[in-house]
Amino acid sequence: SSGINAEWPLRPGAGYEHHQFQLLSMVLLNRNVVPDTPSVMPLFIREFERRVTRRVILKSQRYWATPTTTKEPGDRAWVVGRAAARSTLDGSWVLLRKEQLMELASEEDLSQYLRFVEFLVGLPGALNSVPPAIQLVRVMSVFQVPSQPFLIRGVSVILGNLLHYFTSIPKINLTHASQSGYVSFYDFYNTFCETYEAEGYCDAVFAGFVLLPTRCDYALTYRRLLWVERVETLRMLRVSELSLSHVLRYPESDADMMTLYASSLKNGIKGLGRVIAIHHVHNFLFNPKIRKEQELVDLVKGFVTECADEVCVRRYGGVGKDNKIILKSEDEAMETGE
């Protein structure tokens, strides 16, 4: 964007406070980045003020005015104390919390805010001081706003783009979510699934965020929550903006989860849960690289032979772009010992 400060991204070695003040400068002084809406801008300013330790500012004798990057010199200039407490000043102030999102005056304000977030995640270095887990929680909080903005086409498109941004991160350290105001990501995720059950309307983007933490290289607790405590959430997962190939990238290694997958197939699970279960059960039974106990193999096979998806498990060949199962021919399945 032409209105962005030319010094962005920051020079190597630039101070921590400098990073945040430059981010603030971009927010306040670039109308083509953040429109001057009556509800979004005060939230940004108020959150920034809250993060800066007032006692430190009052003691500081040095002040720093952000450079003006608009066409009108001095327009919307912002002067704050340069000295700020590092522990209270980080980039997360530009990512609104749920209660702040509820203060936005209109759907258009929310759309403008999300467009700005989408702009930030694509700007190298802009959110370096914000752990991806906090970014994820703040974006997922949009789905918990009572007005259900995720059902609006424009908002849904941006949330879908942000979902793909999070999938591009090799692995998110979800333990950092505790810095976002929640006790743990588990507590937030449990509430998130509850919201999906109550008012998710089987939305594809919403479902994508539900599935994101269930990849097998993330903690087992999130998969167990979905498959044991939030079974209704699992049943409602019909379509997803998130490709299941991303969710199924890593093999399942937990014996209890494997039993859950197999028993779910026996009980006639439908939707995306069925695809996930078939994938993991097939991989467990026919992938020679996976270590397995014979007792568990016999148990899983027993469940499979009693389910209607026995043929699908045996002939499973992967997941297509539409999250539908691809089946091998009988001859191909026989050649691979399936």
Task: Output the tens digit of pLDDT for each of the chain's 338 residues.
Answer: 333 333 334 344 444 455 555 666 666 555 555 555 556 666 766 666 665 544 334 333 333 333 333 333 333 333 333 323 333 456 777 888 899 899 886 888 888 889 888 988 888 777 888 899 999 999 999 999 999 999 999 999 999 999 999 999 999 999 999 888 888 999 999 999 999 999 999 999 999 999 999 999 999 999 999 999 999 999 999 999 999 999 999 999 999 999 999 999 999 999 999 999 999 999 999 999 888 999 999 999 999 999 999 999 999 999 998 999 999 987 777 666 66
Interstrand relation of 63-65 and 79-81 (parallel, antiparallel or unpaired): antiparallel
The residue length of the chain stands at 338
State whether the Cα torsion 325-326-331-337 is positive or negative: negative
User: Which pLDDT score, from 0 to 100, does residue 217 have?
Assistant: 96
Distances, alpha carbon 278 to alpha carbons 25, 141, 338, in Å: 51, 31, 14
User: Which pLDDT score, from 0 to 100, does residue 24 have?
Assistant: 63
Name the DSSP class of 267: T
At 308, give phi and psi (nearest 5°).
-75, -10
What is the C-alpha to C-alpha distance for residues 62 and 80, in angstroms, rounded to an integer? 9
At 59, give phi and psi (nearest 5°).
-80, -20
What is the C-alpha to C-alpha distance for residues 233 and 198, in angstroms, rounded to an integer? 9
Name the DSSP class of 68: P
User: Which pLDDT score, from 0 to 100, does residue 77 have?
Assistant: 33
Tokens 């032409």, residue located:
2
The one-letter amino acid at 10: L
Distances, alpha carbon 323 to alpha carbons 20, 83, 233, in Å: 41, 52, 18
What is the C-alpha to C-alpha distance for residues 321 and 311, in angstroms, rounded to an integer? 21
Tokens 């980045």, residue located:
33
Task: Say whether 335 sits in a helix, a strand or coil.
Answer: helix
Q: In sequence order, what E strands does 166-307 have? A: none
User: Which pLDDT score, from 0 to 100, does residue 16 have?
Assistant: 46
Name the DSSP class of 317: E
The one-letter amino acid at 115: R
Answer whether 268's CB lies under 8 Å from 312's CB: no
Task: Say whether 81 sits in a helix, a strand or coil.
Answer: strand
User: Which pLDDT score, from 0 to 100, does residue 325 have?
Assistant: 96
**Within 13 Å of residue 163, how many CA atoms lie on the same side as its CB?**
27
User: Which pLDDT score, from 0 to 100, does residue 336 have?
Assistant: 65
- The contacts of residue 32 (CB under 8 Å, 6+ apart) are 1, 2, 3
User: Which pLDDT score, from 0 to 100, does residue 37 have?
Assistant: 55
User: Which pLDDT score, from 0 to 100, does residue 321 have?
Assistant: 87
User: Which pLDDT score, from 0 to 100, does residue 159 have?
Assistant: 98
User: Which pLDDT score, from 0 to 100, does residue 74 have?
Assistant: 37
Residue burial 151-186, b: 16+ Cβ < 10 Å; e: rest = ebeebbebbbbbbebbbeeeebebebbbebebeebb
What is the C-alpha to C-alpha distance for residues 82 and 222, in angstroms, rounded to an integer? 42
Interstrand relation of 316-319 and 325-327 (parallel, antiparallel or unpaired): antiparallel
User: Which pLDDT score, from 0 to 100, does residue 112 have?
Assistant: 83
